[in-house]
Amino acid sequence: MFDQVLARIAGQFGRVEPRASARAYLIGLLSNVERKNCRQLAEQAGHARPGPMRRLLRYAHGDADAIRDDLRAYAVEHLGTGGTVLIVDETGFVEKGRASAGVQRQHTGTAGRVENSQVGVFLAYATSRGRALIDRRLYLPEHSWRGDPERRHAAGIPDDVQFATKPRLAWEMIGAALDAGVEASWVTGDEAYGRTRSFEPPWRNAGPAT
């Protein structure tokens, strides 16, 4: 199945080298390597140096959303059945520096406390056949990032990316999934995503999801 998924997204990489590096990179992320940086992942892949991994992350041209679309379609094709549930959740990634996009001191369930971290909001697709992540959004804190254009530029954040609450990011992913033809009987998440009333959720008038 792993190779089937890679074959599905292979067309998003224009050259053989980044395609091979992407395969090795993903295998490394799924491995038991303790520190998943380029050097450690290169060693895991049997590379003599970390150059190919670094070029993949820094310079390879690719459309992350197009890859997301391919993976979402693959998940629906292989897991789709009646009673589908879309699940919203967030997780944190502890970071020691301050240069990574979206990092600041904030609460993260990963550590169970306030830590210097990045927080991502994720959307999962679940059926009786299995489950898979089908979308993601990075939470960009309002006060420490929105008003600091130099920091945003250094982290590679596009100018058109603005602050959005975590529930808003969740609703955007759900709306995108429904627009792509994903059918779901239910949408679920913890109370942080159910209690907001700041705007009308997109699935209220969009097909079978409720």
pLDDT score for 60: 77
Return the pLDDT at 207.
46
Instruction: Please name the residue ranges forming H helices in the chain.
Output: 2-9, 16-29, 38-45, 51-58, 64-79, 149-154, 166-179, 191-194
pLDDT at 108: 87
pTM: 0.85
Q: Answer left, alpha or beta for residue 131, where phi above 0 means left and psi between -120 and 50 means alpha.
A: beta
Per-residue pLDDT of the chain (210 residues; tens, 9 = 90+): 888 898 899 888 888 888 888 999 999 999 988 888 889 999 988 888 999 888 888 887 778 899 999 999 999 999 998 889 999 999 999 888 888 899 999 988 888 899 999 999 999 999 999 999 999 999 999 888 888 888 988 888 888 888 999 999 999 999 999 999 999 999 998 877 776 665 455 555 444 443
> What is the distance of C-alpha 133 from the center of its chain?
8
Query: What pLDDT was estimated at residue 198?
Result: 52
Dump the DSSP string for 99-121. -STT-EEEEETTTTEEEEEEEEE
